[in-house]
Structure 1
Amino acid sequence: MPPRRGRGNLPRPRLEQLIDQIAESSLTVLKAPPGFGKSTLASAWAQAALARGAQVAWLTLDEADDSPERILLYVAAAIAQSQAVEAEQSLLKNFALLPAEHLSTLLLNDLGRREQACFLFVDDCHCAPAEAFAAAFDQLIRYAPDNLHLVFCGRNDLPASLYAHLYSDACLEVDAGQLRFDLDETRDLLLRSGFAEIDAGDLLDLHRSTQGWIAALRASLLSIRQRPGASARLPKSISGLLDELLKHLPPSMVEQLSRLACVDKFNTELTARLTGHPDARALIDELDRLQLFLSCLDDAGDWFSFHPLFREHLRRRLSPVQLSYTLSLAARWFADQQLWTDAVRSALSAGDNESAQQWIAHCAMDLVERGDFIILLDWQRQLRDHLLQSPPQLKLAMAWASGLAMTHSNSLHLLSEVEADLAALGRLESTDALFWECQALHAMLKALGDDGQAGGELAIRCLPHLSNRPWICNTLLNVVCFSHLSASRWEAFYSLPPVICEPLERSRYLFNQIYRLSLVGFGESLQGRFSQAAAILEEALRLTTPVNASGQGHSVLRALPASFLAAVRYLQGREEEAAQLSLENIEFAKLGGFLDCIASVYITASRLSSSHSSHQGARYFLEDGERLAQTRQWPRLQAYLLLERIRVSLIDHKQHEAQACAQQLEQIQTDHSAPATDNFTDYQYLASLAALWCETAGISRPADLVQAQKIYKLAAGLNQRLKQARLAASLAQVYWVRQQKETAVTCLLEACQLADHSGAYRLLKDLPATDCLQQLTRYALQDKRLSQARLAQLQRLIPDNNTATQQTIQARTAIALTSKERNVLELVSHGKSNKEMAKLLGITPETIKSHMKNIFSKLKVDSRAQAAVIAKAHGLI
């Protein structure tokens, strides 16, 4: 009998829908270590097959099923039970007396006579001896009729002989990699388990620690529920499961496993060194065959690792002395191979701090240049006392790492120590390369501290002196890029040379390349070119995607483009994609994201929460972001988050809070705006928006419309289309409140054109006082001069379910096109050519062309695709 599915089982559509492929395959193999949900998934497939009207037989094997005859007898019994026919039951009595080959023939003949599809599920295949299993199923697989679909579930690979007579497309394999819970499924499991408030950091930690192992996820959740606030270490239930697994292995293999578990990764050479096994490759192949939580880390199949929880469990079997000795052995081997990062990790775990410090010097700047600066900072915390007397080059590498990790004060402290050391050595001169490297770091710190202009000027002075340091040159070019972006100097922005790739290896220039792509993508989005921005940011994400089974990508680097892309996707109305991007990356963005990156991800996360009526969640992100702004002394970030708090407060009808935030924002604007009033600053833009919103809500004195119009024109002159659109829409609301209706309509239509051109379909929906905006829209619809294109923009950008509004739109659009023109548009939407339409409508191609010309004129479009989109939007076709 198949196992009963419990109420707590989480539906997994991406796996359950594989039943379609199973129905087309002769053999399906579901293999994974224990606790990965094999039987649960197989039972879901069985239910789906039954729902299709198929016959479903289920057999669960155990250690007593040790002969082909016994296995086949139970197969026959399972098939008979699925039919529950008396004749079938009587046939079983004779089957018990027959040898295996005759049993197979009878089963095949019996199945071949059936009209129904038959799905035979065989669970726990690993329990039967391989020889007996192969003998039992050899003929069933070789001569399987078209209506037979075999599904084998177990921990090990099937005997190779069973694949010999199968075409490659006749077999479907599902392994542990596909069975692992992805991040979305982990979140759904948490919600189903009653964890209503999910912290993004806790979710990521849980997902990383269990790596999607279902048994570990459930046990961890149970452990957390029983001990709230406790860390989810290896639960007792998982320990028992692993002990049961190890009990069936030879003691010598368990000892070898424990030694391999001391290191995070191993290859054949290191395996031989740690275990003493004469054939390390054979040992690794056997571990893989037994499905002992082994993961391959590279495409070449050279490096391997155990699941973290399995590794932790195995390590506990070693005494402290054994563990330290094995780690020291591994550290020395890694150092001999010049794998310095692994050597340092192993040495620190073994308590060998002196060797670790010695090896850090070999790889410190390499880690910075590869974007792995968080690792270096972790070592710095562990070896703080040992690194006090480090040479200037190592301290400088630590300073770079601290700067990139946004620990500004620590970076400046280390930098001052380096400059003091160089001064003592008489090397703090403009002729020394280290002097210019220090200046380059100062330039980067100024840019990351939000002083793009000063950082860019210093970077330009440093570039000629560091031509032999390509990574630093790339970093300086990115600082210059940021300075042009901050000042909207677009010609200079686009004329910068590309990232230097030679003579750097890919992993060295990737860091600089991701920063550059993130800056360019952000610049495109500011100018309202969302499709270009998304393409650039997706390319950056692709570059940071893990290329091996280890799943180890550049998480901090990935967070940079992901944060900007989340904002773009949200404004495009693709909320699900935006939510995933922001949830997965917000914690990593906090580790290494620069100001605009942090602002994008926090505001997007807040608006996503607000759009799902979780205003408390929206405030959580804003408060967390404000704490970060104060810690890093970023007043511009604080200003952005204050404006967002004003928006949330107005939606919640908390006028006093909105007023207080507006006053704070006005003070920040006064403190940080440049004396020259002709310069456009974010502070002026944010304060002006706040004043417009507050007047619309009727909670403050009249806004300065002259100043707001001036800022609008400055934004237009700098091609800051998104800011221009928000200002235009907010001005429209204020003009409407002041009864200046025609001016309000003009501003509204300008905002709609800007937002529609960008594809920022949520931009206007997110403004506070949407009722005011909809009233203005209804008024605008009465204007007979309003074109079809304008009607379409209003409907897309400011949807209104008001019956009168819908009737107005329908009336306007119903008059616009003749019935023949609507018929032509209907065919256009189905991709028909002029000749095909002429034939279907019984008219000439020239008449079709005439109709299309009229349609283009009426709808104010210049392409067939645009015409079809507008017609669909208004229900014309």
Structure 2
Amino acid sequence: MTQSAPAVAAQRPQWRPALILTKLAPPRTRHYIHRERAIEQLRSSMERKLTVLVAPAGFGKTSLLSEWKNILAQEGCAVGWMSIDRDDDDLFQFGTYLLAAARDACTQVGEPVPRGLEPDLLAPADAMFAELLNAVAALPRQVVLVLDDFDRLSSPAIHEAVFRLLRYAPENLHVLVAGRSEPAFPLSYFEARGQLLKLDADALRFDSVETQAFFSAISGYALTPAQTEALLEATEGWVAGLQLASFALSASDQAGAFAERIPFARRSVEAYLNENVFVHVPAPLQAFLLQTAVLDRMSVPLCDAMTGTNEAQASFEWLMGRNMFVRPLDAEGQWYRYHALFAEYLRQRLLRERPHEVAGLHRRASEWFAEHSLWAEAVKHALAAGDGDRAAGWVEQCAMNLVETSDVRTVLSWVAKLPAEAVRGRLRLRLAHAWALALTMQAAAARRELQAVEDDIGLGQLSVTEVVRVELHAVKALIAALSDESQRALEMGRKVLELGPAEGSWAEGIGLTTLIFGLSYASGFGEIKRLRRALTFGTGADAPVYAAVYRQSMVGLSLFVQGHLGEAVQTLEDVLRESDARAGRQSAASVLPVGYLAAIHYEWNDLGRVAELLEGRLEMALQSCSLGPLIGFCVTLARLRLLTGEHDEAYRIVEDAEAVARSRQWLRMQVACKAEAIRISIRSGDLGRAARIGHELEALVGQRPESLQGSYLETWQRFQVAHCRLLVARGRPVEAVPILQAVLGEVSAAGMQYLSAQISVALAVAMYSAGQRAQAIQAIQAAVAYGQTNGLQRVFLDAGPVTRDILDGLRQQQALPAGVDLWYVDGLRAGFDALAGTADAVRSTSARSAADYRAEYPVDPLVANRLSAREVEILDYVARGLSNKEIARAIRVAPETVKWHLKNIFEKLKVSSRIQAVRSGLGRDLPRAVDESVQEGR
């Protein structure tokens, strides 16, 4: 007996990893001295894109930036803050916090939060950064993002992403990066353009006035001029040294002694703290400091749990009353942290004096964070305690909840951090991992993971319940569907539903979705119609948006494949409205229905709606769309570009799409892209290129299988039509006729009316070109009848002027065929007359759209993601006219390495010269006189 959806939902652990909000604000400082000199230097950076502040620990970087943040906020800027720790060394997590910082910046100044700043959990990280830039560009004020402790990040992907973010930053965005070392992306790119301000320790050193004010505020002791100079000489303006000196003074009450101790402190902070600070802390408080040293942030309840006492509040008050390197993290005083220098000192001392307690302390922290549903920190401390099994258990309990709410990247990130042996025995965690891989379009990896699970089940190492058995089949069905194995998706979808999944469950929803996909390519249209009446999964407002949109998009696909274009559009437009409202226009959910919609609206010759649907969504589609919608998206966009005469751009779109298809092993999409490339080549008059692509296509598809089943029929149809289009273009239409007749029979038998109409037009053109004019008129009649019912236009117009002649012949018959009216035939004929003006009209619309797009969306994602930071740096030197040897000296590599990089750049940008590469790769960043300098640098 199945359970109701609410009952199932109630049983699920509603755990979600929450953002640590204290990371979105600087620590609060009790005794802060206004840094007028440093602030003026920071102020001068606001006309630039980037400020980099690099200094060792204890120089007051965070305190200075906190003051600067407050000043900017008072002046009306939207300022976002991100305190970085080593756990943020994950591209998706870093991007999530960066979006949160930008959202917080908007909220602080009373701006509505743009939709693009809401994280799309299924969107790739690159799209997340592009959305951030688009949202910032739309804001009516200056936006500043402060990234504190950036040096804690080592991920090349993060440094590449920040480099692209800065490179394409709109005029109203400024980024401030602070840390103990310079960021790993090439600062020279921004420095050469006057877009960078670099500040180091010298800019942060205290002068005598600041020293006196700071010392007086922190210790209550007024320094004499002589003492100030002695202290400055000893500390070299190092603010942490000044604070250490205040401890020495309060401990010994000898004003002349501390200046002599400071040089020693510079050599060894640990030794100085041992001899002059820690020794004067009461013993119970020393224990408190060591027991809480493992924490990155602390609260009173947490510290009570760590120490087993109720003394945390009193301990914090004592420490803060004596300025003992403790900083509150929020206005309410709920969270604290130790200064970085002091935290390092405490951890070293803990390891030296109480190494046997470290694992236990991490375990206590882990348990406390878990009790309060702070899962990221719970997992981190469990791993630090060496308790990988406990961490894996917690991840396992919430992983499927995360999958069902589309937070699959958190699952992938957590599983990557867990020990393999802790994961291996946890079946549900491994299944969640397979789900997450599949939903991020890593079907091959998901299949390997699932195969390993089934191998361990076969060996008796994992036990299977009925619920798990259903889920096993459901994830198999999803992988089959995303791999375009429609027959297997059909079989597995049926199997899932036969096993009786709980009503409203995730497994039931996936079973239904994959079943509809499989039935769409098995002529099961009647069964789909019956299923649509019974669908309950994902219909509520709280249903997972991506899953609901994916299922409804499959319903739209079934109508499209059957040839009911009007019904398909109605279904898909409803889906798109829902996904736009719930997830945003640029979301992974919203690009799913767009590909099919754009293809149909293109067929209706509604080019304005096509441009509106596709604009600004290509990058998201390439990275997050499943196969079918992505084919519709990219092929339609390429055709739109072809109508405006942008042949090279049309080529580039299908080539980029083909690269994605190749990486995901999507044969149907590879064939579609090559078929479209042949079409573009023929329209461009480049038959040689068309023939070369035709040979590649033949090698890719291979021999015809014995039977054409499922979605492979569409793959075979695209291949054969492209082959025949090439035959006709090369003057061999007679050979094309029997091939197209055979394909038409197969597609018609499958009930695919729209594809049948397409092939009928191609067949009529081949017959007419072969001199079989009467047969051509006969062949096109069914397509015209279907076209009149479904509003077809482009299938006739794009087939070329021969089609006009065939339609003329059809009109001259004594009586039109049943279902064909004169107004429709004349309308199609008039469409050919309007073709001359169509290119100009579309070009005008596209130019206007492009201008609007550049204003609204400053990112060029195709180029931005094509080159690495090193390649952009090299291209920048090329733009300035440097030779390969000069570039090699500038970046300290061998000249051959530069040549290798240039070869990769040429291939990525699809160019053949340095000038073309610079124009394509650097675009708007180029000075007008760049051509000459590039020529000189050859």
Q: TM-score range by the shorter chain?
A: 0.5 to 0.7
Q: Deviations over 1:727-753 (max 9, x none)?
A: 122122222212333333344454344
| Aligned equivalent of 1:262 | none
Distance between the aligned counterparts of 1:356 and 1:553, measured in 2?
A: 36
Contact 1:563-1:586 at 8 Å conserved across structures: no
2:136 to 207, 212, 229: 212
Q: Deviations over 1:45-96 (max 9, x none)?
A: xxxxxxxxxxxxxxxxxxxxxxxxxxxxxxxxxxxxxxxxxxxxxxxxxxxx
Letter matched to residue 212 of structure 1: V
Matched position secondary structure for 2:735: coil
Contact 1:528-1:757 at 8 Å conserved across structures: no
| Aligned equivalent of 2:440 | 405
Distance between the aligned counterparts of 2:199 and 2:133, measured in 1?
A: 15
| Aligned equivalent of 1:773 | 803
Contact 1:680-1:715 at 8 Å conserved across structures: no
Correspondence 1:445 to 2:479: yes
Contact 1:340-1:363 at 8 Å conserved across structures: no
Distance between the aligned counterparts of 2:715 and 2:708, measured in 1?
A: 13
Distance between the aligned counterparts of 1:726 and 1:633, measured in 2?
A: 26
Q: Deviations over 1:273-329 (max 9, x none)?
A: xxx99xxxxxxxxxxxxxxxx9xxxxxxxxxxxxxxxxxxxx99988959x99x999
Contact 2:509-2:537 at 8 Å conserved across structures: no
**For residues 142-153 of structure 1, what are the structure 2 equivalents within 5 Å?**
none
**For residues 688-703 of structure 1, what are the structure 2 equivalents within 5 Å?**
688-700=720-732, 702-703=734-735
Distance between the aligned counterparts of 1:556 and 1:346, measured in 2?
A: 33
Quickly say closer, same or farther: Cα 1:715–1:329, change in 2 above 3 A.
same
Distance between the aligned counterparts of 1:678 and 1:562, measured in 2?
A: 23
Correspondence 1:224 to 2:259: no
1:496 to 503, 506, 531: 531
Cα distance, 1:437 vs structure 2: 3.0
Correspondence 1:374 to 2:409: yes
Matched position secondary structure for 1:578: helix
2:491 to 444, 457, 481: 457
| Aligned equivalent of 2:717 | 685
Quickly say closer, same or farther: Cα 1:352–1:384, change in 2 above 3 A.
closer
Quickly say closer, same or farther: Cα 1:203–1:735, change in 2 above 3 A.
same
Correspondence 1:603 to 2:635: yes
Cα distance, 1:500 vs structure 2: 5.8
Contact 2:508-2:537 at 8 Å conserved across structures: no
Quickly say closer, same or farther: Cα 1:621–1:684, change in 2 above 3 A.
same
**For residues 144-183 of structure 1, what are the structure 2 equivalents within 5 Å?**
177=111
Contact 1:224-1:230 at 8 Å conserved across structures: no
Contact 2:423-2:429 at 8 Å conserved across structures: no
Quickly say closer, same or farther: Cα 1:381–1:155, change in 2 above 3 A.
closer
| Aligned equivalent of 1:260 | none
Contact 2:483-2:666 at 8 Å conserved across structures: yes
| Aligned equivalent of 1:724 | 756
Cα distance, 1:376 vs structure 2: 1.8
Larger relative contact order (Cα-Cα within 8 Å, sequence gap ≥ 6): 2
1:642 to 674, 692, 712: 674
Contact 1:528-1:722 at 8 Å conserved across structures: yes
Contact 2:411-2:433 at 8 Å conserved across structures: yes
Q: Is the deviation greater in 336-345 or in 357-366?
A: 336-345
Quickly say closer, same or farther: Cα 1:794–1:506, change in 2 above 3 A.
closer
| Aligned equivalent of 2:577 | 542
Distance between the aligned counterparts of 1:503 and 1:181, measured in 2?
A: 23
Distance between the aligned counterparts of 1:336 and 1:619, measured in 2?
A: 55
Distance between the aligned counterparts of 1:778 and 1:320, measured in 2?
A: 88
Cα distance, 1:631 vs structure 2: 2.7
TM-score, scaled to structure 2 = 0.50
**For residues 170-319 of structure 1, what are the structure 2 equivalents within 5 Å?**
177=111, 205-209=129-133, 211-213=135-137, 215=142, 224=167
| Aligned equivalent of 1:739 | 771
Aligned residues: 572
Cα distance, 1:594 vs structure 2: 3.0
Cα distance, 1:691 vs structure 2: 3.6
| Aligned equivalent of 1:514 | 549
**For residues 437-836 of structure 1, what are the structure 2 equivalents within 5 Å?**
437-468=471-502, 470-496=505-531, 501=536, 507-508=542-543, 510-545=545-580, 547=582, 555-675=587-707, 681-700=713-732, 702-767=734-799, 770-777=800-807, 788-795=822-829, 797-800=831-834
Quickly say closer, same or farther: Cα 1:574–1:337, change in 2 above 3 A.
farther
Distance between the aligned counterparts of 2:539 and 2:759, measured in 1?
A: 45
Letter matched to residue 713 of structure 2: T
Matched position secondary structure for 1:605: helix
Cα distance, 1:651 vs structure 2: 1.0
Letter matched to residue 206 of structure 1: A
Distance between the aligned counterparts of 2:748 and 2:382, measured in 1?
A: 58
Distance between the aligned counterparts of 1:366 and 1:499, measured in 2?
A: 25
Distance between the aligned counterparts of 1:505 and 1:678, measured in 2?
A: 32
Quickly say closer, same or farther: Cα 1:778–1:541, change in 2 above 3 A.
same
Cα distance, 1:364 vs structure 2: 0.7
Cα distance, 1:208 vs structure 2: 1.9
Cα distance, 1:524 vs structure 2: 1.7
Contact 1:626-1:641 at 8 Å conserved across structures: yes
Distance between the aligned counterparts of 1:533 and 1:320, measured in 2?
A: 64
Distance between the aligned counterparts of 1:407 and 1:683, measured in 2?
A: 21
Cα distance, 1:656 vs structure 2: 2.2
Distance between the aligned counterparts of 2:775 and 2:814, measured in 1?
A: 16
Cα distance, 1:334 vs structure 2: 7.1
Distance between the aligned counterparts of 1:402 and 1:657, measured in 2?
A: 37
Distance between the aligned counterparts of 2:803 and 2:383, measured in 1?
A: 62
Letter matched to residue 772 of structure 1: V
Distance between the aligned counterparts of 1:358 and 1:687, measured in 2?
A: 49
Q: Deviations over 1:391-437 (max 9, x none)?
A: 111111101221232323322332233234434446667x7543443
Structure 2: 5+ residue stretches without partners? 1-42, 47-71, 80-108, 118-123, 146-161, 170-182, 204-216, 219-300, 303-311, 314-329, 331-336, 348-361, 838-938
Correspondence 1:364 to 2:399: yes
Letter matched to residue 661 of structure 2: A
Distance between the aligned counterparts of 2:462 and 2:538, measured in 1?
A: 28
Contact 1:216-1:238 at 8 Å conserved across structures: no
Contact 1:609-1:617 at 8 Å conserved across structures: yes
Distance between the aligned counterparts of 2:773 and 2:759, measured in 1?
A: 17
Report the aligned-residue RMSD.
5.8
Q: Is the deviation greater in 605-614 or in 677-686?
A: 677-686
Q: Deviations over 1:246-299 (max 9, x none)?
A: xxxxx99xxxxxxxxxxxxxxxx99xxxxx99xxxxxxxxxxxxxxxx9xxxxx
Contact 1:403-1:411 at 8 Å conserved across structures: yes
Letter matched to residue 828 of structure 2: L
Matched position secondary structure for 2:751: coil
Cα distance, 1:546 vs structure 2: 5.3
Distance between the aligned counterparts of 1:222 and 1:436, measured in 2?
A: 43
| Aligned equivalent of 1:121 | none
Cα distance, 1:644 vs structure 2: 0.8
Letter matched to residue 560 of structure 1: L
Contact 2:77-2:143 at 8 Å conserved across structures: no
Distance between the aligned counterparts of 1:347 and 1:716, measured in 2?
A: 61
Cα distance, 1:650 vs structure 2: 0.5
Quickly say closer, same or farther: Cα 1:347–1:750, change in 2 above 3 A.
farther
Quickly say closer, same or farther: Cα 1:508–1:519, change in 2 above 3 A.
same
Letter matched to residue 410 of structure 2: I
Cα distance, 1:680 vs structure 2: 8.9
Distance between the aligned counterparts of 2:375 and 2:538, measured in 1?
A: 21
Distance between the aligned counterparts of 1:336 and 1:538, measured in 2?
A: 44
Quickly say closer, same or farther: Cα 1:229–1:573, change in 2 above 3 A.
farther
